[in-house]
Amino acid sequence: MKTSSFFKTSATVFVLSLSTLSSFAQKISEVFSKPETPITWVGIDFSETKYVGDPGTVAPAEMKGLFSKINTLTINEPDKYDITTAFKRSTTVTSKIEVTEAVNEKIEPAQIITPNLSEQNHLSESKIQSMVRRYNFPAGSSGVALAFIMENLSKPTEQETFWVTFIDMKTKSVLLTDKVTAKAAGFGFRNHWAGGVYAGLKEIKSSYYGKWKKQTAR
């Protein structure tokens, strides 16, 4: 009887797991197959960002505030940082960047800068999932959220890398995450590294989006 009960329980868990996976797959496939599927932009997560190289005239303590200003640019300049067009939505993407602002507020400035290039590629899919678990979505949130999780700002290469991450807000599960690397450009710390976000959005629109659409096609 115990053995039979065990197999029945295991079978139930297995079926539930398949059901959950199917639900996640359907949700992300609809993002790319149906432009009317809403997504919520929750901003840029700088909580684990590594700045590689000499920051010049910017002190580590100042970077925290500058990261917030870059995040805010995506809201204040929607025509330039056009999330809606880059992700081919038929309706305007809504924004709730307070989600990432909350985790960015906990950044320890002393841990941002590193002289070692070897430290710049330090995130993984499993780490991204653990970072997403820290997000506090507004009560009752459901549907798909979109975050850019910034991995590095590399002064030697003048490039930045961020993980484009789609999230099921109800379960805090990562539906899809992938790296984008783009060239930074512009004067001043904020505009320079925000320039990489702008360049990344252009690359998403021209190439990455099509790749993800193929990957998630059902």
Percent residues over pLDDT 70 in the chain: 88
Q: Give CA–CA dist 183/192, Å, rounded.
A: 9
Q: How far apart are CA 89 and CA 174, in angstroms?
A: 20
pLDDT at residue 118, rounded to an integer: 84
Q: Which amino acid is at 38?
A: P
- The token pair at 8 is 């029945």
CA–CA separation, 151 and 135 (whole Å): 17
User: Cα separation of 31 and 88, whole Å?
Assistant: 10
H or E stretch covering 152: strand 144-154
Q: Which amino acid is at 216?
A: T
pLDDT of residue 13: 40
**pLDDT tens for each residue of 111-139:** 999 988 888 899 999 999 999 999 999 99
Give the burial class of 119: count Cβ atoms within 10 A of its Cβ; 0-12 exposed, 13-18 middle, 19 or more buried. Answer: exposed
Are residues 172 and 132 in contact, defined by beta-carbon separation less than 8 angstroms? yes
Q: How far is CA 165 from CA 59, 69, 85, 113, 144, in A?
A: 29, 21, 17, 24, 10
pLDDT reported for residue 116:
86
- Residue 208 is predicted with a pLDDT of 97
Does the pLDDT at position 76 exceed 70?
A: yes
Greater pLDDT, 58 or 15:
58
Beta strands in the chain (DSSP E): 39-45, 50-52, 94-95, 113-114, 144-154, 159-168, 173-183
- The pLDDT tens digits for 176-212 are 999 999 999 999 999 999 999 999 999 999 999 999 9
